[in-house]
Amino acid sequence: MKRFIIAILMLLTAAGLSAQDRRVDDRQPTIGSVKGTVVSRQGRAPIGGAVVTLLSEGQELYSLKTGSDGTFQMPNIANGRYMLTFSAPGYTASVTNVLVEGFVRDLMFITLSPLVTEERTDVDDDNFIEFDLDDSGYSDTPSILFGSNDVYDNAVSYGFSSIRFKNRGYNSELQDVMLSGVRLNDALTGYSPYSLWSGLNEVMRSKDVTSGLQTSPYAIGGFNGVTNILGNPADVRPGLRLSVLSNSALYRLRLMATYSSGVMDNGWSYVVSASARLGGNDWVKGVYYRSFAYYAGAEKSWDAHRISLFTFATPGQRGAQNASTQEVYDLMGDNMYNSNWGYQNGKMRNARVRKTFEPITVLKYTYSPDMDFESATTLLWRTGSNGYTALDWYDAPDPRPDYYKNLPSYAFMEDEDYGKSNVDKADWMREAWVNRLPEYAGYQHIDWDRLYRVNYAAADGRAKYVQEERHVDQNELNLAETIKWRANEHNLLHAGAYFKWNRSENYKKIADLLGGRYFLDIDSFAERDYAIDPVKLQNDLDYYLAHGEARKLYLGDKYGYDYLAQIRKAGAWVTENFEWGGWSANAAASVGYETFWRDGLVRKGLFPDDSRGQSRHANFLVYSGKVGLAYVIPTGHRFSVNAGYFNDAPTFNQSFISPRTRNTMMDGLTTKKTLSADVNYQFNSMGYNLRLTGFWTQIKDQTDLMSFYDDREHTFTNFAMTGIDQRHMGIELGVKVPLFAQGLSASGILSMGEYIYTSTPHMVQTIDNSAEIVHDEDVPYWKEHTVADENGVVKTYKHYVPSTPQLAAQIGLNYNVNYWYLELNAQYFAHSYLDMNPGYRTHSAVGGPDGIETPAEIAYMAAQEEFAPAFLLNASIGKSWYVNNNQIGFSLQLNNMTNNRGVKTGGYEQTRLIDSSDKKRSYRFDSKYFYMQGFNYMLNIYFRF
């Protein structure tokens, strides 16, 4: 570790020295000039009409526009240090320092990042956040692509979000999301961190985006792109902006105000922003927002220095959604039914509420003596709390309305083999669900009044039902350094180093006693097995030993579990870009070291020796390498190939068998290895725009963990799976064609892939109460396998990476004229699959009680559900007006205009099994699903002064 830090320091020192070595030569002329070519980062297309301005000490000296080929030349400039700004509509403005030392100073390519500017694309990241249901098996958010002038990326980022499209089938943890040069993917899970700044769209709008295997100036990135959000005050568009947004899919109302000073004459800039997202929506009852956001920052630039300080947070709460089985949706007549809420005193209340306040503070210093060198150092601190409420209960019936024992299928199934034949009772169960009289609401939704009454009746006020709040409170300090150095006209070097320190406390606390007086800190699952041994029941054994009884819990008290996740990461990377004529190439490498451990803060009665204190430290050497080669033909064609290899550490959350109870890590924990490559062709000229990409990615040695009640073991178990491999391959096509009329164009998008599991993972199943291993075997039906049908014909079945369409297509018409725009598109999605439960793919589940695996049993138990294809029609319209230099505009999006309410977007298989009446085979519990909303709108009205 120490050696490693020294290596990083040496790398930084070397870079610094080389920057200082360039001295002014006395013999040169006293007048020079500056020239260069302004190009887009995406496809390196020339940007014509870009404004280039030369400044000296805040005074504008000279300004010109680039030619249609993107080139410019500024002659007759006295030697000295200047500031050069570049701006073009649709791109992030760029500022650089330039040193004129006689002769012609060729800046080569000035790359501008495409900017997400248009209000019609005001997608809010909230769309993806509601899905983080950590206890329902569906815990990932799709990766978010950001629009750019790449036709494909643009369409996918805004048009495919409602179906939870994951580009190339990758999880969000595979996409690097950075703020001000610091990678901010969640340190415990790897998930996208967008929720940390949702509601701050204006200030976080400027970003630098790469996709696939492309490298970024801020990191070498993985194989699913890098998004770096600039976030600093000087990069926020100047002016006062107000907007009012209403939508029917998520929250009713958003109010947002932002003021940005821009860079003032004295070199200062400052920005303040605030927003509120409020209300429910048309589709999912109980989902609501009471979220706010603020941002404040200041920045000062002088000479070669820029320093900025900003802080922001999104305090608030929102109600979450839950998945149910199709039986429940059909009974309710609503695929958007949400079992998380119910009435309390006649008022709607959601049991699952996410409550967050996680402020982030950033201090960034940039040193840029000239155009050729820039060094940026960022210190980022994240703190605060993140809670997620849920019902908890002790020795009382399951309060969830859609608990399987409350459903008609629990009493009666058509298929006699299920052994469920009580029609009368099924009728009673059905009546409770289908009767729409108000007095039946307590059967269809959480009956809060009943929970209170149970607590009122408890003998001495010991609550039976409480609302808990599970916390993951992160404290994270990041230090990142990035360097850009253009050594000469052919070589551009990006390099950087990072250090991350994360200490996250995981615990739960009492959020509401629901009319009870206190709750007791004991483990009700342990009580089932060790009822007469009070020591084993203790969540906090030390408290019990000191006081002779379990802790009585009152409002706000921590209970259940309490441990720290301790995570450290450090590393360095370098990217060399080489350009020669139409050729460009890059090579990149990174190396790093990651370590994490669990630090238990309470001693658990079940595991007195392995719960309190530190676990062993898991250490991983991580590294990656990338190469890319591209060739541009000046007529607008570009060919490129990229390849990379990545050796990444597993995440903290995928490493401990039962982190809530003990320090034990999974056996065979190893790094995840990924090999990825893509081939691209792009054409960009005269309004035509096309990209065709083929990609191939192999990911090896992933792990997964789940916990569930095992009917055969009669107890709660943990299921740890190692050696999960998958392969993603496919093509992407985006094409845009101008049509006969001015401002009219047509576009087509296609994403066609095959994302499959390719290995036979190994699983170890342990009893949660005793750590006893009950199964240690392979999961044979996880990957492709064969089954003979009743005629003896052998067929092969593949198993797919779930929860995203593997085929997605869109055709659209765009009309853009005189500040009006109109867009109409039709979309088709297919080959989306349900997330698989590995427990169903084991020999013991397939064999059933008799242990004999018949082809019919294999076909049934191993089958993976494919969702029906979906067809969607969407439109948007917008217009803006200029009144005395102020802009007023609106945009209106109409999504899913055919009101298609049968589109499954995800879900999961349950874990439990039902034995057949003849005890020869098993049946699965019904799967749970999420559906897409039907017709919905989003209207945004904005003012800019």
Q: Using CB under 8 A, which residues numbered 675 to 714 contact another protein?
A: 711-712, 714
* Under rule CB under 8 A, residue 244 binds another protein: yes
CA separation for the pair 113, 579 (Å, rounded): 19
CA separation for the pair 899, 335 (Å, rounded): 13
DSSP symbol at 607: B
Q: Per CB under 8 A, which region of 214-222, 242-250, 381-389, 863-871 contacts another protein?
A: 242-250
Site for another protein, residues 151 to 180, rule: CB under 8 A: none
User: Which residue lies nearer to another protein by CB, 277 or 728?
Assistant: 277
Site for another protein, residues 303 to 322, rule: CB under 8 A: 319
CB of 771 to another protein, least distance (A): 14
CA separation for the pair 623, 590 (Å, rounded): 5
Tokens 């499959």 -> residue: 756
User: Which residue lies nearer to another protein by CB, 636 or 849?
Assistant: 849
* Under rule CB under 8 A, residue 424 binds another protein: yes
* Under rule CB under 8 A, residue 410 binds another protein: yes
* Under rule CB under 8 A, residue 436 binds another protein: no
Site for another protein, residues 67 to 126, rule: CB under 8 A: none
CB of 885 to another protein, least distance (A): 16
* Under rule CB under 8 A, residue 229 binds another protein: no
CB of 540 to another protein, least distance (A): 21
* Nearby residues of 547 by Cβ (< 8 Å), 6 or more positions away: none
Q: Per CB under 8 A, which region of 200-208, 453-461, 645-653, 683-691 contacts another protein?
A: 453-461
Site for another protein, residues 883 to 942, rule: CB under 8 A: 888, 890, 915, 919, 937, 939, 941
Q: What is the CA radius of gyration of the chain?
A: 29
* Under rule CB under 8 A, residue 63 binds another protein: no
List the end-to-end C-alpha distance of the chain, in Å, as a whole number. 52
In the list 139, 261, 385, 406, the residue contacting another protein (rule: CB under 8 A) is: 406
CA separation for the pair 114, 87 (Å, rounded): 11
User: Which residue lies nearer to another protein by CB, 468 or 732?
Assistant: 468
* Under rule CB under 8 A, residue 746 binds another protein: no
CB of 718 to another protein, least distance (A): 18
User: Which residue lies nearer to another protein by CB, 389 or 658?
Assistant: 389
* Nearby residues of 62 by Cβ (< 8 Å), 6 or more positions away: 53, 54, 74, 77
User: Which residue lies nearer to another protein by CB, 307 or 774?
Assistant: 774
What is the x/- site pattern for another protein, positions 605-644, by CB under 8 A?
Answer: ----------------------------------------
CB of 530 to another protein, least distance (A): 7
In the list 13, 28, 63, 421, the residue contacting another protein (rule: CB under 8 A) is: 421
CA separation for the pair 623, 627 (Å, rounded): 14
DSSP symbol at 21: T
* Under rule CB under 8 A, residue 288 binds another protein: yes
Which three-class secondary structure state does DSSP give residue 608? coil
User: Which residue lies nearer to another protein by CB, 246 or 816?
Assistant: 246
Tokens 């004991």 -> residue: 522
208 touches 223 (CB < 8 A): no
* Under rule CB under 8 A, residue 555 binds another protein: no
918 touches 849 (CB < 8 A): no
Site for another protein, residues 8 to 47, rule: CB under 8 A: none
Which three-class secondary structure state does DSSP give residue 527? helix
User: Which residue lies nearer to another protein by CB, 57 or 398?
Assistant: 398
User: Which residue lies nearer to another protein by CB, 165 or 251?
Assistant: 251
* Under rule CB under 8 A, residue 441 binds another protein: no
* Under rule CB under 8 A, residue 418 binds another protein: no
CA separation for the pair 493, 12 (Å, rounded): 13
CA separation for the pair 12, 790 (Å, rounded): 68
* Nearby residues of 135 by Cβ (< 8 Å), 6 or more positions away: 390
User: Which residue lies nearer to another protein by CB, 169 or 199?
Assistant: 199
Relative to beta strand 305-313, strand 316-319 is: unpaired
Amino acid identity of 763?
M
354 touches 320 (CB < 8 A): yes
User: Which residue lies nearer to another protein by CB, 63 or 422?
Assistant: 422
CA separation for the pair 180, 308 (Å, rounded): 10
* Under rule CB under 8 A, residue 414 binds another protein: no
CB of 608 to another protein, least distance (A): 17
Tokens 């979450």 -> residue: 320
User: Which residue lies nearer to another protein by CB, 50 or 287?
Assistant: 287
CA distances from 513 to 42, 213, 469, 740 (A): 55, 51, 11, 67
What is the x/- site pattern for another protein, positions 382-401, by CB under 8 A?
Answer: -------------xxxx---
CB of 522 to another protein, least distance (A): 12
Task: Kindly report the backbone phi and psi dihedral angles of residue 642, in degrees, each rounded to the nearest multiple of 5, phi listed first.
Answer: -140, 150
- Neighbour tally for 547: CB within 10 Å: 11
User: Which residue lies nearer to another protein by CB, 445 or 736?
Assistant: 445
Read out DSSP for 811-876? EEEEEEETTEEEEEEEEEEE--BPBPPGGGGSHHHHHTTTT---HHHHHHHH--PBPPPEEEEEEE
CB of 315 to another protein, least distance (A): 14
* Under rule CB under 8 A, residue 821 binds another protein: no
CB of 286 to another protein, least distance (A): 7
In the list 272, 307, 458, 875, the residue contacting another protein (rule: CB under 8 A) is: 458
Q: Per CB under 8 A, which region of 87-95, 190-198, 282-290, 578-586 contacts another protein?
A: 282-290
Tokens 């004459």 -> residue: 265
Q: How far is CA 519 from the centre of its chain?
A: 36
CB of 435 to another protein, least distance (A): 9
Q: Per CB under 8 A, which region of 51-59, 90-98, 458-466, 669-677 contacts another protein?
A: 458-466
Site size toward another protein (CB under 8 A) is: 72
User: Which residue lies nearer to another protein by CB, 589 or 877?
Assistant: 877
Tokens 């010991």 -> residue: 462
CA distances from 440 to 396, 401, 446 (A): 21, 11, 11
CB of 441 to another protein, least distance (A): 12
Tokens of 616: 């062993």
CB of 405 to another protein, least distance (A): 7
CB of 857 to another protein, least distance (A): 15
* Nearby residues of 626 by Cβ (< 8 Å), 6 or more positions away: 213, 215, 220, 221, 575, 586, 587, 588, 589, 642, 643, 644, 645
* Under rule CB under 8 A, residue 349 binds another protein: yes
DSSP symbol at 515: T
Tokens 């030392």 -> residue: 101
User: Which residue lies nearer to another protein by CB, 71 or 406?
Assistant: 406
